[in-house]
Amino acid sequence: MSEAAAAQAVVRLEGVTKTFPRGGVTALQDIDLELAPREFVSLIGPSGCGKSTLLRVIGDLTAPTSGSVTVNGKSARQARNDGDYGIVFQDAVLFDWRSVSKNIALPLEMLGWGRQRRKTRVAQLLDLVELTGFADHRPWQLSGGMQQRVAIARALSFEPSLLLMDEPFGALDEMTRERLNLELLSIWEQTGNTVVFVTHSISEAVFLSNRVVVMSPRPGRIAGTIDIDLPYPRTVETREAPRYFELVTEVRELLRSRGEHLLPEEEAVLE
Amino acid sequence: MSNAAVAVRSPRARERRASLVEGLGRAGLVVLVVAALIGLWELYRWIWVSTGWTRPFIVNDTSMPHVWTIFKAFSQPAQVNQPSLISVLLHKTAFTAKEAAAGFGLGAVIGFVLAVVLVHARLLRRGFLPYIVGSQTVPILAIAPMVVLWVNPRLPGPLQGWGAVAVIATYLTFFPVTINTLRGLQSADARALELMRTYAASRWKVLWKLRVPASLPYVFSALRLAATASVVGAIIGELPTGLQDGLGGAIINFNQYYSIEPQELWATNVIAAALGIAFFVIVVLAEKAIVRRPPEETV
């Protein structure tokens, strides 16, 4: 690999293995993965395939047992300390004692931004996630989908190059989820982040991504990668295109072929 | 446009009116409960006196004076050529309130700081917490004289006497604050702590931006306990000091005359209870002003 290409990758994982000492579970085995700038990559697989662990390894929220992780050419630790990524969890994790705009401004306060600069930035972000007018609301006054949009605005507030999303729409109903999928794509087109998106939903993964990484459990491995060649910008019609269905089927079959060890409830996830 | 403005404003006005109605309703309820308690007291008295029952205790003008005798005592002088009992008691109440307030403030600060230290030091928490719990099993009456002996000689002039009592009130106050604040600081959501990690937040930032705000409902539930405990602490603290300026002194004094004039001790009890309630209400009001949480999440 040349120096230039090495510098270009936003995320690079080489031979990453993660074992949990308790119970001797191998959550991840020998993972190699590379993400180019502006790439939108989904990690999909049944419970226990290590997709969330992989995301946490990239974010330096847990350390790999062996292998190397680099983010923007730096160690994962250095990248976390430099604020190279923003993260969105399944729960919005908003602070009840802060208003919507103060929640969005939290990372900016940590970075020591001045009041005026924060205010300007928060106004931009509220506009980006279409929550203008809700600045002074409290988190518990918002719907689940709106809360998650606040969490996305907060993650993007300090303009990190990388966005890590851990089943961000997993707790939402189907209709809200599809609307937020569209909104996320329009945000991504404006901001140009590299995105790592963990999901349980095949249709969501195909609709959003450039590339879908299918993982299989025990031990957590990459079963295969499928390039999604649907053109951007993707719209409501994309979900009705024949090519979309072909790709959904392709992902489903890859999941199924690696799913021979699945438990019944994990089978259910794939249906 | 103007329609929208009206639509936005009117729920607020309705809310304000609803809270006014609710407030009046509550005040009415308090009056009703007090009236019911007075009624029960008098009813109990009347039944026991008219039937001559002696169990569980003999009821007469000494053991259970009439409610109106107690309230009448307020307007009469406690001793010949002295001001009315109420004005004497109000002065004493102000003195005790000063001790209790100082004890409450000191106890709240010490309790809070102790909890902040303990939440960050696992080893200290394991080793130290049993002694903090143990400190509260020692009867306050047993250590009050020692506290007075230790503290009083070190106090500057204006703090002499009442300062030592405030320290005793502190002793009762800090404990619930430490225990509850510790729990509150630990109540911060694991995911929220992880989020702070992604910002590379220092311990100090995590403490002020996350742990402390998350702990506030717990802190205030402790302060409500501490508010009444500080008043009890101040009154008990006055006993071994021999101070005559506060409610504790008055209680000791009226105790001696109980068989002749029971209504004076009862009147003092009423005032002491009122002081405790006042402290409690102040904390509740402060909580309402400071802590804004979803309605179902108040501890």
* Residues from A in contact with B at Cβ < 8 Å: 59, 61, 80-81, 83, 85-87, 89, 91, 93, 95-98, 106-107, 109-111, 138, 140
Tell whether B145 is covered by a domain: yes
Q: Which residue has the tokens 């230290």?
A: B117
Average pLDDT per block of 10 residues along chain B, 299 residues long? 46 75 89 94 92 88 89 84 88 95 96 94 87 86 86 84 91 93 94 94 94 94 94 90 87 87 90 95 92 65
Q: How far is A140 from chain B (nearest CA, A)?
A: 6
pLDDT at B61: 86
Domain final position from B33, B64, B95? B64
Torsion over CA of B139, B143, B144 and B145, rounded to 10 degrees?
140
pLDDT value for B81:
80
Say if residue B199 is in the same domain as residue B239: yes
Same domain, B243 and B172: yes
Contacts of A86 in chain B (CB under 8 A): 198
B271 and B146 co-located in one domain: yes
Return the ∠ at Cα A224 (arms to A220 and A228), rounded to 5°.
Answer: 130
What's the pLDDT score for residue B6? 43
- Counting runs of H as helices and runs of E as strands, what totals does chain B give? 11, 0
pLDDT tens, position by position, A37-74: 999 999 999 888 889 999 999 999 999 999 999 999 99
Substitution target in A55, A110, A148, A150 with the highest count of B β-carbons within 10 Å is A110
Given a cut of 60, whether residue A266 has pLDDT beyond it is: no
Task: With CB atoms and an 8 Å threshold, state whether B297 touches A96.
Answer: yes
Output the pLDDT for position B4: 44
pLDDT of residue B136: 87
Q: Do B195 and A87 touch (CB under 8 A)?
A: yes
According to the model, what pLDDT value does residue B143 have? 85
Class of domain A3-203: alpha beta
* CA-based nearest residue to A254, from A204, A198, A212, A192: A212
**Average pLDDT score over residue span A109-115:** 92
Provide the domain limits for residue B245: 85-297
Where are the domains positioned within chain A?
3-203
Instruction: Mark whether B110 and B255 lie in a shared domain.
Output: yes
Which of A28, A40, A8 is closest to A164 using CA atoms? A40
Of A24 and A114, the one with more pLDDT: A114
B15 touches chain A (CB under 8 A): no
Minimal Cβ distance to B191: which of A91, A97, A98: A91
Q: Report the distance separating Cα B197 and Cα B264, nearest Å.
A: 62
Is some CB atom of chain A closer than 8 A to the CB atom of B134?
no
Q: How many domains, chain B? A: 2
Q: Has residue B206 been placed in a domain?
A: yes
In this structure, the answer to whether residues B13 and B122 fall within a common structural domain is no
Return the biggest CA–CA distance within chain B.
Answer: 76
Query: For position A13, what pLDDT does the model report?
Result: 94
CB contact under 8 A, A93 and B191: yes
Q: Determine the pLDDT at residue B12.
A: 65
CA distance B125 to chain A (A): 26
Distance, CA of A14 to CA of A58 (rounded, Å): 11
Query: Chain A residue with minimal CA distance to B296?
Result: A140
- The interface residues of chain B toward chain A in range 213-272, judged by CB-CB distance below 8 A, are 213-214, 216
Instruction: State whether A83 and B200 contact (CB < 8 Å).
Output: yes
- Asked if B60 and B105 sit in the same domain, the reply is no
ipTM: 0.87
Facing A80 at nearest CB: one of B198, B209, B297: B198
| B10 located within any domain | yes
Residues for chain A: how many in total?
Answer: 271
Nearest to residue A107, comparing CAs of B12, B181, B195? B195
pLDDT in tens, A183-223: 999 999 999 999 999 998 999 999 999 999 999 888 889 99
> Residues B147, B271: one domain?
yes
**What 8-state DSSP symbol labels residue B211?**
I
Last residue of a domain, one of B9, B34, B64: B64
Do both B7 and B122 map to the same domain?
no
Same domain flag for B126 and B191: yes
